[in-house]
Chains A and B, each alone.
Chain A
Amino acid sequence: MKLTFFLNGREVTCDISPEMTLLTVLKELLHVNSVKRACLQGECGACTVIVDGDAMNSCLILAATVGGKHVETLESLGDSQHMHPLQKAFLDTGAFQCGFCTPGFIMSAKALLDKNPHPTEEEIRYGLSGNLCRCTGYVKPLEAVKAYVAAQSDIKVNEDAVQAVKAAAEQMGGAH
């Protein structure tokens, strides 16, 4: 059967059989490398992708159900030359050891932060609880997300400052 959906903003069409999961389609038909095949039971979160804004285990979704939907994988964020700030935060914190779980972690974090840009510690922990990691003890991935949230808040403050400066400049201009 024909399946058409949006992968990282681009419309793709592929020929699938009805029992294929989204993971199989992404990995074997579309050659998306960041999605990892691990437990195939929805336990580990290594295959996490974002479907219409929600982080989901692609190993549990039948591909036929994503017709017309928007699917995001790690490739949508950026590559080594143009990194998304979230990827940069993971890299700067050193939030991986073997790196197998990292794409899943970043996609879960992105889904969380898209919905809630300023999560608390507890919300971050809950948001990442679907991803298993054996190497990092979750210390540095949590640190990375916290660092990203803090950096984004800093940018907000700076924008406010820019607005204030602009307003002041306008006032001065008006005085002239």
Chain B
Amino acid sequence: MIRKGRGIAGCLYSLTVPNAPNPCTANVLMREDGSVNIQMGIVDIGQGAQTAMCMMAAEFFTIPVEKVRIYTADTHATPYDFGTLSSRLTFVGGRALLNACQQVMDVLKSAAAMQLHTLPERLYCEGGFLKDKYDPAKMLPIQAAAAISQFVCRKMPMGQGEYYPFNVPADENGCGEPSVSYYYHASVADVEVDDETGVVTVKEIWSAVDCGKAINPSAVVGQCDGGTLQGIGWALGEDMYPYCTHNDGPAPEFDPDFRPRNLSDYPLPTTMDAPEIHSMFVESHDGEGPYGAKAAGEICANTAAPAIVNAIHDAVGVWITELPATPDKVLRAIREKQEKEGA
């Protein structure tokens, strides 16, 4: 008989590496045609950090994002970064980038102030122009300011930014401030459990992330979709074990290689397994983050599996305490429960 259940799970995640100094540095240069070059040590492994950095720089200088170029992950040419981990790139990298951009902007403003016969403090940036707050007639394209500072003022519009996230290491009681900020995620899963075969099917899943300000909303939703399906895979099929499985011969010995070795033995969900995933983000403003942004990637894979396990409990009243919840484990748990109730 098919039994339906619904489960919910939530979690929080640190935005920076807990209890460790994890700085990021950025070099920013504006060329005389108004295009911006960024050098950063960050590594984009597909999560969209490069795009996010370009979008933040474009927002800062109010120029089209096509005019921003980024060079990353080359120890020969790019400055230091701690690494792609702990959801820190948008937050820590973004702050380093904006610090560098601010230095560039200071150079541009002093050049523009000289040209416009005004004060740098009176200038602000809008629509690719530096404008005087009190005199609307005084405005200068940002590329003109870059050219003037480079060739007339003899000062290159470039900046080196860095950011050290604040944290207080834990004391002997485990009290401290491990991360400068946190972000949150929650999932709700609707599942169907066949109590005769133990097969669990996820019918629909809702997934929401509190990402601060969404720098690239399409990528945030994409990360949420992907993390959720990854969580479903972990909950229902994917398994890794560090032991050799021998069908005959001696008992399995410890094997440093993980099994399975190949995708053929590792049941990644395909399009046929993917349920309807409803991903969304809830925007908040983080006082410390760049433009109020926090993070969106890593956390999304965390709550699908506990939500599904809770939903299984809601459906058939058994707790699965070891993932993945394969049919044999679910069926065994149901049988044990039935025996206990019968006795």
A-side interface residues toward B, CB under 8 Å?
39, 41, 43-44, 94, 96-100, 124-126, 128-142
The residue on B at minimum CB distance from A132 is B268
* Given A98-B46, A137-B277, A139-B222, 14 new contacts (CB under 8 A): A39-B263, A41-B264, A43-B262, A43-B264, A94-B219, A94-B222, A97-B47, A97-B226, A125-B274, A134-B268, A135-B226, A137-B226, A139-B279, A141-B271
CB of B35 to closest CB in A, whole Å:
18
Chain A residues whose CB sits within 8 angstroms of the CB of B45 once the complex forms: 98
B270/A129 in contact, CB under 8 A: yes
Q: How far is the CB of A86 from chain B (nearest CB, A)?
A: 17
- Annotate B187-216 by CB proximity to A: 1 below 8 A, 0 otherwise: 000000000000000000000000000000
List the B side residues contacting A132 at CB < 8 Å: 263, 268, 270
12 A/B residue pairs, CB under 8 Å, sorted by A: A39-B262, A43-B262, A94-B221, A96-B222, A97-B47, A99-B46, A129-B271, A133-B226, A135-B226, A136-B222, A137-B227, A137-B277
A139: B residues at CB distance < 8 A: 222, 225, 274, 277, 279
| B25 interfacial by beta-carbon distance below 8 Å | no
For residue A124, which residues in chain B have a CB less than 8 angstroms away from its CB? 271
Please tell me the number of chain B residues within 8 Å of chain A, measured between CB atoms: 25
B224's nearest neighbour on chain A, judged by CB, is: A137
B222 — which chain A residues lie within 8 A by C-beta?
A: 94, 96-97, 135-136, 139-140
Please tell me if B230 contacts chain A, counting CB pairs below 8 Å.
Answer: yes
Asked if B229 is at the interface (CB within 8 A of a chain A CB), the reply is yes
Contact A125 B263 (CB under 8 A): no
Chain B min CB distance to A163 (Å): 37
How many Å from the CB of B85 to the closest CB on chain A?
16
Shortest C-beta distance, A89 to chain B (Å), equals 14
| 0 or 1 for each of B215-251: is its CB under 8 Å from A? (1 = yes) | 0001101110111111000000000000000000000
* Interfacial chain B residues near A141, Cβ < 8 Å: 271
Point out the residue from B48, B226, B272 that lies within 8 Å of A129, measured CB to CB.
B272
Residues of A within 8 A of B277 (CB): 137, 139
In the complex, residue of chain A having the shortest beta-carbon distance to the beta carbon of B304: A137
Smallest CB separation, A45 vs chain B (Å): 9
B-chain residues with CB within 8 Å of residue A130 when the two chains form the complex: 270
Total contacts A to B, CB within 8 angstroms?
76
* Complex Cα–Cα for A141 and B277 (A): 13
A51 → chain B closest CB, angstroms: 22
The interface centre, meaning the residue of B47, B228, B229, B262 with most chain A CB atoms within 10 A of its CB, is B229
- A139 CA to B204 CA, complexed, in Å: 12
By a CB distance below 8 angstroms, the chain A residues around B271 are: 124-126, 128-129, 131, 138, 141-142
A41 touches B279 (CB 8 A): no
Contacts of B219 in A (CB 8 A): 94, 97
Quote the shortest CB–CB distance from A143 to chain B (angstroms): 10
Question: Chain B nearest CB: distance from A130 CB in Å?
Answer: 8
Which 7 A-B pairs give the minimum distances between C-beta atoms?
A98-B46, A137-B229, A137-B225, A43-B263, A94-B218, A139-B225, A135-B226
C-alpha gap A133/B222 in the complex (Å): 12
Interface residues of B in 248-283 (CB under 8 A from A): 262-264, 268, 270-272, 274, 277, 279
A138 contacts B274, C-beta separation under 8 Å: yes
CB within 8 Å for A41 and B263 given contacts A94-B219, A97-B46, A97-B226: yes
Complex-state Cα separation, A35 to B274, whole angstroms: 25
Shortest CB distance B280–A (Å)? 12
Q: Which B residues are CB-close (under 8 A) to A100? A: 46
Determine the distance from Cα of A41 to Cα of B227 in the docked complex, in whole angstroms. 25
Q: B225, B227, B262, B263: which contacts A140 (Cβ < 8 A)?
A: B225
- How far is it, in angstroms, between the C-alpha of A113 and the C-alpha of B42 when the chains are bound? 39
Q: Provide the residues of chain A in CB contact with B230, threshold 8 Å.
A: 134, 137
Q: Is the CB of A135 within 8 A of B228?
A: no
> Which residue on B lies nearest to A44, using beta carbons?
B263
**Contact partners of A97 in chain B: CB under 8 A:** 46-48, 219, 222-223, 226
- Tell me how far the C-beta of B249 lies from the nearest C-beta in chain A, rounded to whole angstroms: 26
- Report if A137-B274 is in contact (Cβ < 8 Å); known contacts: A97-B46, A97-B219, A100-B46: yes
